[in-house]
Amino acid sequence: MFKNEVILFSPYDDKIECNYSNFNTIVFQKVSDMIRNPEIREQYERFSCNYHYFYPQLEFLIYEMKYEYYDGLLFDGKANVHREEDNYKLWCEKYSNNNGLNVFKSDNENIYVRKFIPSESDAFTSGFIDKYGNILSSRYSDNTKILAFQIISQHLMHNLDLVYRFMNYQNHSDFSIYEKFCYDIGYVYFRDNNLFYNENELSKAQKLIINQMRKR
């Protein structure tokens, strides 16, 4: 399979083959067709109302409609979802010996998005800063590798140029590649008192926050 190939598997064993050049269009169209059904529309509205930063369509298919998918680029394997107590785990064949990928839904309950406030700067221990000055952190985990994975998975669906850039990364079975790619494409990655970023990609908002964070 090609690196950027994606395959969606429905609960009824239907298979939709695509790649990142049309993955976004196919997912959006699939959900659009589904919500013509009033019951599914109501289900989608309940699900999507908790998404204000990321797009909900792919996760609606996975978490609500029980789709599985093969992603040849992000983790080179087939992924599905298991519920464990109050958490959902995105499980991938490739990492089966490592208890799967502990990826939570990319909604407001799991990913905390807020503006930087200097007086509250001690509350930020790890996360990412986007070009608009939004701070992204995980509500329930200090694992920035998983957060980086979620950021990248969203970007790759909507930006084909980033797909080609990510394809040039080697050994991306190592989670650390996700964090590196995030700050290479313009996010500021911070952990404790350390800041990592690509100087050429910084926005004015990010530069201001970096200066403020260094004064802590």
One-letter-per-residue 3-state SS of 91-111: EEHHHHHHCCECCCCCCCCCE
pLDDT > 90? residue 79: no
pLDDT > 60? residue 47: yes
Instruction: Tell me what percent of the residues of the chain surpass a pLDDT of 70.
Output: 77
47-51, 90-94, 155-159: which is most confident: 47-51
Residues 6+ apart with CB under 8 A from 99: none
**Pairing mode of beta strands 111-115, 15-19:** unpaired
Q: Which residue has the tokens 């699900």?
A: 47
Q: What is the pLDDT of residues 2-20, one digit of tens each?
A: 566 888 888 888 888 888 8
pTM for the full predicted model = 0.83
Q: Could you tell me which residue, 39 or 11, shows the higher pLDDT?
A: 39
Of 78-87, 105-114, 179-188, the range with the lowest mean pLDDT is 78-87
Q: Per-domain residue ranges for the chain?
A: 5-98, 111-214
Nearest to 73 by CA among 147, 187, 181, 190: 181
Residues 6+ apart with CB under 8 A from 205: 131, 132, 133
